Structure 1
Amino acid sequence: MTEQQLVAVVNGKEISREEVLKFLNDMGPQVAMQFQSPEGIKRVIEEMVNQELLYLDALEQNMEEEAEFKETFEATKKNLLKGYAFNKLVADIDAEEEEMKEFFQENKNVFGQPETLKASHILVEDEDKAKEVIQELNDGLNFEEAAANYSSCPSKEAGGTLGEFGRGQMVPEFEDAAFNMEVGTISEPVKTQFGYHIIRVDAKNEAEEPAFEEVKEQVQQQVLARKQEAKYQEKISGLKVKYPVEIY
């Protein structure tokens, strides 16, 4: 190994630039970003040296012969072997173009942009009060002002706005009313478990159907995951016949 590739030598053990890069990669991208400067790289090299020194000390003290270490080693080896066996089992599985397209066609709703809307509301306790507020709105009262004055929902502090949401995020009565309204309109009182709502739809975003190429990578991941799971379950079924299993 050339001197340019070497970053340190500990008791004859060489540490290379490639090993430093692998050490950084193993940290994960978010943590590794903290060590991208020359000073950060120096700290990483120092830590690698420290770990090598600790390893040498452990060998000298014969720690690998201690019962606790052997138990830990066996448990670690067992888990590594499980992961290795799974990876080997599914290593040859691939997602063909045609099956990806078929899966995409059958699950377009999963990959598309669902219909969403932005709405504001005023929440009051009874229907009569809701009707009074609606009359004031019809007479020219600003919706945000009405929300601040009358609404019992914390959203009153922001003029009643609830932000953007899709189906399934609000209680059914509220959702049914809101998604059947036109932008800019104000609803009649809508009763839910929380009280009576006066809803204003501020914006609507229609559902969007993506093109296959736009979500091809996501489709591939899901197809692969399904095929891997099927292969895994098939293998497990065979192993349950081979090895006795009792679940209590």
Structure 2
Amino acid sequence: MSETKVFAVVNGKEITQQDVFAFLNELDPQIAMQFQSPEGIKKIVEELVNQELLYIDAVEKGFDKEETFKTEMKKIEANVLKHYAVNKLLSDISATEGEVINYYNEHKEYFKSPEAVRASHILVKEEEEAKKILNEMDEGLSFEEAASKYSICPSKAKGGDLGEFTRGKMVPEFEEAAFNMNEGEISDPVKTQFGYHIIRVDSKKAEGISKFDEVKSQVTEQVVALKQQERYLDTTAKLKNKYDVKINL
């Protein structure tokens, strides 16, 4: 196991690579990306050094002994303990296979799957070029070969495959064509803001209820959440009887 790299030492306290990673993890991912360079890491280390200096100075001045600080610490400690208590109360709750299956069978209306299409396409700039490609395909060129050879879309690397999508995911002209085609059908050139598409519908899925195996993890999460809510409410109801509670609303 390799040793953690030490970036700085402040009054004997090491600031390590792990400290930098921890700091980055607390940032918004988009902001964190701005510091993914040697210069960015250097800025983080400088900030951690500054924070450590302020901490040492605060201890030396006895800020941690002031009543205002102690009051704030009690608030923080109380909040941490509340979260810890909730996690401890709910952490052992799980769902059995039978509970999950029963919930799914009794609430199938919650697991509707929208109409979906899996399609591939070939994208070119000009309509005439699209028509020439269609002629080559009529003469034996496969759709995948044509996509790889002519398409200007990155999907050409996968034979034009765009995967499965539901309504609202593609530009309107493309979507209208794809959802009105039959499986295996290849379209005439379809114009969109990106150019001209030759579309092939590879499969279609009608609106319906998702199969249990497709939503098992989602159903399990819902069952666990409901059981956690039940325990939470039952426990707090008992505690209201145990301790003095007055709500003035």
TM-score (norm 2): 0.57
How many angstroms apart in 1 are the aligned matches of 2:44 and 2:26?
A: 12
How far off its partner does 1:206 sit? Answer: 5.0
Kept after mapping to 1: 8 A contact 2:4/2:18: no
Give the corresponding residue for 2:159. none
How far off its partner does 1:12 sit? Answer: 0.5
| CA-to-aligned-CA distance 1:73-131 (integer Å, 9 cap, x gap) | 11111111100110111111112232222222222222323579xxxxxxxxxxxxxxx
Structure 1 runs of 4+ aligned residues shifted over 4 Å read: 1-4
How far off its partner does 1:2 sit? Answer: 7.5
How far off its partner does 1:3 sit? Answer: 6.5
Give the corresponding residue for 2:29. 29
**1:65 has 2:57 as partner:** no
Structure 2 CA distance for partners of 1:35 and 1:221, relative to 1, 3 Å: farther
Match of 2:14, SS state, is: strand
Structure 2 CA distance for partners of 1:85 and 1:112, relative to 1, 3 Å: same
**1:221 has 2:237 as partner:** no
Give the corresponding residue for 1:127. none
| CA-to-aligned-CA distance 1:148-170 (integer Å, 9 cap, x gap) | xxxxxxxxxxxxxxxx79xxxxx
How many angstroms apart in 1 are the aligned matches of 2:35 and 2:224?
A: 34
Match of 1:94, SS state, is: coil
Structure 2 CA distance for partners of 1:216 and 1:23, relative to 1, 3 Å: farther
How many angstroms apart in 2 are the aligned matches of 1:7 and 1:63?
A: 28
Q: Which letter does structure 1 place at the counterpart of 2:100?
A: M
Give the corresponding residue for 1:47. 47
How many angstroms apart in 2 are the aligned matches of 1:221 and 1:56?
A: 45
Listed as ranges, the gaps of 5+ residues in structure 1 are 117-163, 166-182, 184-204
How far off its partner does 1:37 sit? Answer: 2.6
Q: Which letter does structure 1 place at the counterpart of 2:236?
A: I
Equivalent residue pairs, number: 163
After superposition, the CA RMSD in angstroms is 2.7
Q: Which letter does structure 2 place at the counterpart of 1:58?
A: A
How many angstroms apart in 2 are the aligned matches of 1:52 and 1:236?
A: 41
Match of 2:230, SS state, is: helix
| CA-to-aligned-CA distance 1:42-90 (integer Å, 9 cap, x gap) | 2222222221111111111111122221221111111111001101111
Q: Which letter does structure 2 place at the counterpart of 1:8?
A: A
How far off its partner does 1:17 sit? Answer: 1.7
Structure 2 CA distance for partners of 1:40 and 1:18, relative to 1, 3 Å: same
How many angstroms apart in 1 are the aligned matches of 2:112 and 2:33?
A: 33
Listed as ranges, the gaps of 5+ residues in structure 2 are 117-166, 169-179, 181-204
Match of 1:95, SS state, is: coil
Matches within 5 A, 1:3-14: 4-14=4-14
Structure 2 CA distance for partners of 1:39 and 1:214, relative to 1, 3 Å: farther
| CA-to-aligned-CA distance 1:176-232 (integer Å, 9 cap, x gap) | xxxxxxx9xxxxxxxxxxxxxxxxxxxxx9533222232233222222211111111
**1:242 has 2:242 as partner:** yes
How many angstroms apart in 2 are the aligned matches of 1:97 and 1:34?
A: 45
How many angstroms apart in 1 are the aligned matches of 2:100 and 2:33?
A: 35
How far off its partner does 1:239 sit? Answer: 0.8
Matches within 5 A, 1:66-105: 66-105=66-105
How many angstroms apart in 2 are the aligned matches of 1:76 and 1:54?
A: 20
